[in-house]
Structure 1
Amino acid sequence: MNSRKPQDIVREEEAQLDFSRSMSYGDYLQLDTILAAQHPRSPDHNEMLFIVQHQTSELWLKLMLHELRAANAAIAGDELGAAFKMLARVSRIMEQLVHAWDVLATMTPTEYSAIRPYLGNSSGFQSAQYRCLEFALGNKNATMLQPHAHHPQRLAAVQQAFEAPSLYDEALRLLARRGLPVPATHVDRDWRQPYAESADVEQAWLMVYRDPKRYWDLYELGEELTDLEDAFRLWRFRHVTTVERIIGFKRGTGGTGGVSYLRKMLDVVLFPEIWRLRTDL
């Protein structure tokens, strides 16, 4: 039989709701800081959507970079199980970002035109985290360091990603360590240079794909990389269609060609031999 008095139960319940002496949900997530970071510059209602869309994308980018750096280290350390989990998570994040474009697409051209004059030259093209992502995935271009030259801290982060081996570089080094015939030019090179497709690298991957039982973890690595690039392509494509829907073929606020620039990015292939081998299997 419960001998506690009703008033004692009430006091206990009230004590459980008192977070003055312990960390609360808002404290842990620093929600006061995050939710106070939206500062529309125009009087237009729709600018809040534009700001939140891009701020949340930057948070997802932060998580993707966190996972990719750890995956790179895991591949370098032959810890492929851990790397697979991280790469799968990055692919799922990219799927999340694909659907995020659906929300921004609710902004009409008229609504965007009302806020565009207040954006100045700011553009997603200038995202340091996105540039780090591109570099981490192997799309190296020294020209893309320049948009960050005005901010030393961001430049340092982008420079570090630019100079480091990409995810694909580490994958090829792993294949070489496993005795597969990856040419020396692709095992030890200037990581700042754009990746050069190689028939010899394709032959190494073909050995893996023709004998998956023998090379099961490398075969799985190839498929994780395929999933990742597949998701990245969808994200890029949805970006292009959303931009075209909202601004047509106007130049971007950051000075790029807008849709024409984004369409050129659709032609970039990050892991070319893994895609090419499917024809030759």
Structure 2
Amino acid sequence: MNDKNSAEQAYSDFTRSLSYGDYLHLDGIHAAHQPITQAHDEHLFIAVHHVSEVWLGLIVREIQAAMKLLEQGITDAPLKMLTRVVRAQEQMTNAWEVLKTMTPSDYLEFRSAFGQASGFQSQNYRMVEFLLGNRNPVMLRPHAHRPDLHDPLKAALEGPSVYDLALRLVAARGLNIPDEVLQRNYAEKYTLNEAVVDAWIAVYRDTDTYWDLYELAEKLMDVEDNFRRWRFNHVTTVERTIGFKRGSGGTSGVGYLKQALNIVLFPELWEVRTRL
């Protein structure tokens, strides 16, 4: 008698149906893992960056889906999508812990081999920054040779961020968001506006009336909080590995990354903590 719990009950003939590897295109994924030196730790370096790019792609998709709903005035469903963003950010942050097992000597065995290639050139990462509101037209330049990468980034740079859409919802609820904020040039860096601070204070002081906006604001804070943690782990990992050497992408390396730690995506939401 066959044991219904036996491994023999599992499907084993995939001549006419998708297997696990077929569905996930694992041959293509493994083929993309192509170290260019014999250094043992280059495998680790590539794996961590491949995984991070997959998570970034998911984060982009979830933020864009949330933004489409926010444009329609829907606030509940986007919370689930932004929660998924937060969980994916946590996985990316944890990836630095794996990379930290690589010592400076390990890294120097293959660092020069990939030339000027750098995470600075990640289209997915730049798209996340643009969607969250960190705008700088200079960041389009590394993608000028690839219209398929450049054009979506340019569209994101020139369109509203997730925070801009949140402010539209705040204004739609009768709170004062100045026209200079609602109709601003999205390609320019967003700066703190006192009227917007007052509007968010009103939300936080009357959560019964504005519960949906309050929830959305706190979820945006979760996203930025985790983005800051990712940046901090990035800085410490780089400094631990190469010190203050110049980055492979041409930036100053740790100095550039430390400067990025000061970027604030949703300034009024942070300022509310002081003013309440």
Q: Offset at 1:15?
A: 8.6
**Aligned partners of 1:245, 1:103: CA distance in 2, in Å?**
13
Partner of 1:250: 245
In the alignment, structure 2 segments of 5+ residues that lack a partner are: none
**Aligned partners of 1:78, 1:158: CA distance in 2, in Å?**
24
For the pair 1:213 / 2:213, whether they are aligned, the reply is: no
**Aligned partners of 2:162, 2:14: CA distance in 1, in Å?**
44
Would you say the 8 A contact 2:191–2:267 is kept in 1? no
Would you say the 8 A contact 2:239–2:254 is kept in 1? yes
For the pair 1:105 / 2:95, whether they are aligned, the reply is: no
1:147-173: CA deviation from partner (whole Å, max 9, x where unpaired) = 111222111121121112101000001
Q: Offset at 1:119?
A: 1.1
Partner of residue 234 from structure 1, selected from 229, 232, 251:
229
Give TM-score scaled by structure 2 length: 0.96
The structure whose Rg is larger is: 1
**Aligned partners of 1:110, 1:163: CA distance in 2, in Å?**
43
**Mean CA deviation greater in 270-279 or 181-190:** 181-190
Q: In structure 2, the residue corresponding to 1:111 is in which secondary structure?
A: helix
Q: Please give the residue correspondences for 1:7-18 in structure 2 after superposition, counting only pairs within 5 Å.
A: 16-18=11-13
Partner of 1:225: 220
For the pair 1:44 / 2:21, whether they are aligned, the reply is: no
Q: Offset at 1:196?
A: 1.9
Partner of 2:271: 276
In the alignment, structure 1 segments of 5+ residues that lack a partner are: 1-5
Partner of 2:22: 27
Q: Offset at 1:189?
A: 2.0
Q: Offset at 1:14?
A: 7.4
**Aligned partners of 1:157, 1:78: CA distance in 2, in Å?**
24
**Aligned partners of 1:75, 1:178: CA distance in 2, in Å?**
13
Partner of 1:76: 71
**Aligned partners of 1:186, 1:178: CA distance in 2, in Å?**
16
For the pair 1:85 / 2:80, whether they are aligned, the reply is: yes
Q: Please give the residue correspondences for 1:70-219 in structure 2 after superposition, counting only pairs within 5 Å.
A: 70-219=65-214
Give TM-score scaled by structure 1 length: 0.94
Would you say the 8 A contact 2:135–2:157 is kept in 1? yes
